[in-house]
Structure 1
Amino acid sequence: MDIPHRITHDGVLIEVKVTPRSSRKGVAGMVGDCLNVKLTAPPVDGEANAQLIGVLADYFSVRRSDIEVVKGASSRRKIVKLRGLQV
């Protein structure tokens, strides 16, 4: 899957569209230019963001500590920075 991204000096930025409270969790393809990620966690107290980081860490085979939500922490559309990712 070709994921639109921007390379920065310390990582790669990708745009993500999150669907919380889904019946399954995981990467569900692309929606426009966003990576579509379904989560079982509710969007309360950062639970969905924590699960998003875990799902992306598994998908891209990087450590959780190498993933950061840089924009949209309380929104369904987020910009996520991945460090240590080979593009």
Structure 2
Amino acid sequence: MLFCPPLKDLPIKETSDGVILYIKVTPNAAKSKVGGIKVGPLHPFLKIFIKEQAIDGKANKATIDFLHKLFKHSKSAFTIQSGQLQRSKTILITGLKAKNIIQHII
């Protein structure tokens, strides 16, 4: 049986619009990958390393591409709600439930 921490300890929140995913992106990494769940000052976040540089939105586009492949879900379902110019981002994912996301991040 898979252990699942309480939802409050995960970087996700279910809303009427979809699931909010809190992430922190490190661009210009050697490889695009998940770096685990970390504790932040406001809420937990999913650490993500992205190969692309943060120039002209390349890292943002690569982040959406990476998440779409990670969760095996339509690319159009992912929207950066806040943090376009920061490493800390809030992503809205439509069409998925929290349990679908949890399976891929723990």
**TM-score calculated relative to the size of structure 2:** 0.76
Q: Percent identity?
A: 29
- Distance in 2 separating the partners of 1:53 and 1:78: 11
Report the secondary structure of 1:53's partner residue: helix
Greater strand fraction, Structure 1 or Structure 2 = 1
List, as ranges, runs of 4+ consecutive aligned residues in structure 1 with deviation greater than 3 Å: none
Aligned residues: 87
Alignment match of 2:31 (pick from 21, 24, 29):
24
- 1:59 pairs with 2:66: no
Task: Tell me how far 1:17 sits from its aligned partner.
Answer: 0.4
SS for the counterpart of 1:15 is: strand
Structure number with the higher helix fraction is 2
**Aligned-residue offset at 1:67:** 0.2
Equivalent residues of 1:27, 1:59 under 8 A apart: no
Partner of 2:91: 80
Aligned with residue 41 of structure 1, among 40, 52, 61: 52
Q: What residue is the counterpart of 2:14 in the other structure?
A: 7
Unpaired runs of 5+ residues, structure 1, are none
Aligned-residue CA RMSD in angstroms? Answer: 1.3
Asked which structure has the greater CA Rg, the reply is 2
The normalised TM-score by structure 1 is 0.92
